[in-house]
Every structure is written in C-alpha cells, then in structure tokens.
Amino acid sequence: MRMLMRFSLPVKAGTRPLEMEPGETIQSILNDLKPEPPTHDWGGMRTGFIAFDMQDVSQIPAIAEPWFLAFNAVSRFIRP
C-alpha cells in the first residue's frame, strides 16, 4: 500500500548527525524504503515527507524506529 510518512527532527538532533556524517544516516534509512524525494521545513523543525510502498502495517515499527534512535524524531504515517 502507498504510504506517506512525515518525520520531524528537533533542530539540534537533526543537525548533529549531518555534521558528523554528511547525510549517511538519512541515506542509510532511505535506502531501505526507496522513497520519492523528501521535502523540508515544517513548524520550525527539520521535517520531511516521504512517499513509499509498505506491504503491511506491521512494518511501521521497523520503518519508524531508525528515525527515533538516530534523531529523536517524531513521525506520522498517512495512507493517501
């Protein structure tokens, strides 16, 4: 099923990994999802929207967890 995931990163947490490893953390997460290109900025936080295919809702924890661990992110899944 087609899904849209919104993720928001606190500015400090979102900037630190990019400074340490330029985009490698995000690229690693996105490689598994094969999403359409993400966009940025929402409500003062570093935010992106990722559209991708998900086979089953049981995949949500595995998809969201890397964002929580790496960036202390907030995420929301939306089924278009």
0.75 exceeded by pTM? no
Give the confidence band of 38 by pLDDT, cuts at 50, 70, 90: low
Q: How many angstroms separate the most distant Cα atoms in the chain?
A: 35
CATH code: domain of residue 61 = 3.30.70.240
CA 55-42-79 angle, to 5 degrees, is 20
Domain coverage including residue 44: 2-78
d(CA 16, CA 60): 25
Our count of domains for the chain comes to: 1
Residue range 51-75, pLDDT digits in tens: 888 999 899 998 888 888 888 888 8
